[in-house]
Amino acid sequence: MQKSSLKLLLVADVFPPVRTSAAALIYDLAVSLVRIGHDCTVATTDAQISRPFEIDSRDGFDVLRIRTGPLKRINLVRRAINEMLLSSQMWDGYRASPAASKRYDGVVFYSPTIFFGRFIARVKSLYSCRAYLILRDIFPDWAVDLGLMRKGPHYWIFKAFAQYQYSVADVIGIESSSNKKYFSRQSHKIEVLHNWIDTDAPPPPSFSLPEYVRQHCILVYAGNMGVAQDMDNLLRLARRLVHRKDCRMLFVGSGSERGRMESEARNLRLENVIFYPEVHPQELRGLLRECHVGLISLDKRLRSHNITGKLLSYLEAGLPVLASVNSGNDIKSVVEGAGAGMVLWNGEDDALANAANRMLDRRGKLARMAAAAKQLCRIQFSATAAAEQIGRTFK
């Protein structure tokens, strides 16, 4: 317990029951802030509620859900419009809620989205407090890297929103020191804040996989299946492993590429590939403990470096990691430096398949990697450590 507690407002566009890694991150952070003695309120968006806001309490903190337009599973034009309206809708709902009557020592906000800037500026002015930005998505730059956007009018509009959000923050916590190159203007306020997971959480409920799955060595991919993840990279791996009768590749989650992936797997007759829908975060923790290797893939065109949320989920479950990522990504030094898995550069298809075969064939080494994964999680990616680091900003 800390000697002096803080009153902190956490702002994010997703929160449970939404089943994403970002929602899980914010939940674990809120739990850890409360655990070390702080007073925490989470403000989040919700397109499903009928009133301007709703408040509920859980695990020692309040959750303020503010009605906004839908942000997920809609076309890109509508999503862009709704996100641009986000700050004004959040402010209107927040000011009408009892949460606004509290006095906060600081505000912590999560990106993506890039459209919280105006809302955060108003909250800072209201309470004369500082703001900490947890930055996990360098948009729109990553979209340009992947060829999804050109540096035309749309790019510069989005870039202006992102730059304004950066200017509002007093401290910006980035995932990796390699990403500092994006922030020459804000270099004085940048620090590395590793992703985190609650290493003190109680054991999860068991998850019962079907017997026809459990009798194999399971290589699992759990998380978003989008363009940035280059899911074709993992389908190429599946093709190279299809001759092995002792293993299966399990894909758990959703995303813009999932439907195409399922169709492609059927067309290629990849009998070693199995798809599961999204599951509750606690169920996912149990599911991962039934698997043997955690898979990560990132598009080789990406220039930003991500310590992805799924990496932490794998480490917490004691899963050795097999990753294929963009060149120079810090995941390689983090994972291989701890002896917790093997990391290849995306495009090294034969080397990736060889690494998978070595992991599957050497079960003793796999067990040592599993132990190293758990240790790495405890030492470097504790939610408590992240909460304490963020808290120091407001002391």
Q: For 50-71, give one letter per residue: b (16+ CB within 10 A) or e.
A: eeebbeeeeeebbbbbbbbbeb
CA angle 61, 64, 66 (to 5 degrees): 165
Residues 175 and 235 in one domain: no
Residues 232 and 308 in one domain: yes
Structural domain of 142: 7-193
Residues 342 and 246 in one domain: yes
Residues 248 and 217 in one domain: yes
Residues 252 and 142 in one domain: no
> What CATH number did the domain enclosing 295 receive?
3.40.50.2000
pLDDT digits (tens, 9 = 90+) for 101-142: 999 999 999 999 999 999 999 999 999 999 999 999 888 888
pLDDT for res 240: 97
Residues 104 and 56 in one domain: yes
pLDDT for res 2: 43
pLDDT for res 323: 98
Q: Is residue 337, in this structure, part of any structural domain at all?
A: yes
pLDDT digits (tens, 9 = 90+) for 345-361: 999 999 999 999 999 99
- In the chain, the amino acid numbered 164 is Y
Q: Are 6 and 106 in contact (CB under 8 A)?
A: yes
Residues 226 and 330 in one domain: yes
Q: Is residue 239, in this structure, part of any structural domain at all?
A: yes
Residues 189 and 312 in one domain: no
Residues of the chain scoring pLDDT < 50: 1-2
Q: Is residue 130, in this structure, part of any structural domain at all?
A: yes
CB-count exposure of residue 187 (10 Å: 0-12, 13-18, 19+): exposed
Do β-strands 293-297 and 321-325 pair in parallel, antiparallel, or remain unpaired?
parallel
Residues 138 and 22 in one domain: yes
pLDDT for res 326: 93
Residues 94 and 174 in one domain: yes
pLDDT for res 182: 76
Tokens of 312: 């932490």
Could you please report the per-residue DSSP string of 264-301? HHHHTT-TTEEEE----HHHHHHHHTT-SEEEEE--TT
Residues 90 and 14 in one domain: yes
Could you please report the per-residue DSSP string of 189-219? GEEE----B-TTSPPPPP----HHHHTSEEE
Q: Is residue 395, in this structure, part of any structural domain at all?
A: no
Q: Is residue 227, in this structure, part of any structural domain at all?
A: yes
Residues 128, 145: Cα–Cα separation, whole Å? 38
Residues 318, 287: Cα–Cα separation, whole Å? 12
How many domains in the chain? 2
